[in-house]
Structure 1
């Protein structure tokens, strides 16, 4: 696996991990009056950095930001939060499986079919 791909995968896992934390925070505070949900947006920055090279990619850090689309008096929709949490978990699991398969292939290449 080339260095850019490996860094891209690790940064994606970092962003998805933070997104899972944001989902959990939003779900836990759904009944709190005046709570403003948080979001994590890192895909666009990750895509742009990947085009620039490894140094730019290494500098990308996902962060929590207040949901700009959430207005005063809006109710947090638990169904949408749960759906986003499930999608995030699925993406994370897929990336971990990809890394696992790559490790298996590398182990076979190094050790043969033992």
Structure 2
């Protein structure tokens, strides 16, 4: 799904016990399983930086193209926060950081779905 070598390099920089977890955020079942796996250990900070940007001419945008973007770039964050924020609240501390894109301010025709989320 992503850059495994980059993930390994980042994990090594964080610490030797850093786990690398991966999921297809266009698949709601995979997101749910990922959330369960993450929730097995308490976390304090959720950084949502996952997104897809599949370019195509705006006239060629169809329902499956839109759904993939909504699933990965929006619905996955909602599912993760629903699972991971309640334990944070119970412990009395936690943070969710959701990143955005410059495309929100400067979209291109071929990135209209990505930029709208």
Q: Is TM (by shorter chain) over 0.5?
A: no
**TM-score using structure 1 length:** 0.32
Q: Which has the higher helix share?
A: 1
Highest CA radius of gyration, 1 or 2? 1
Query: TM-score, normalized by length of structure 2?
Result: 0.32
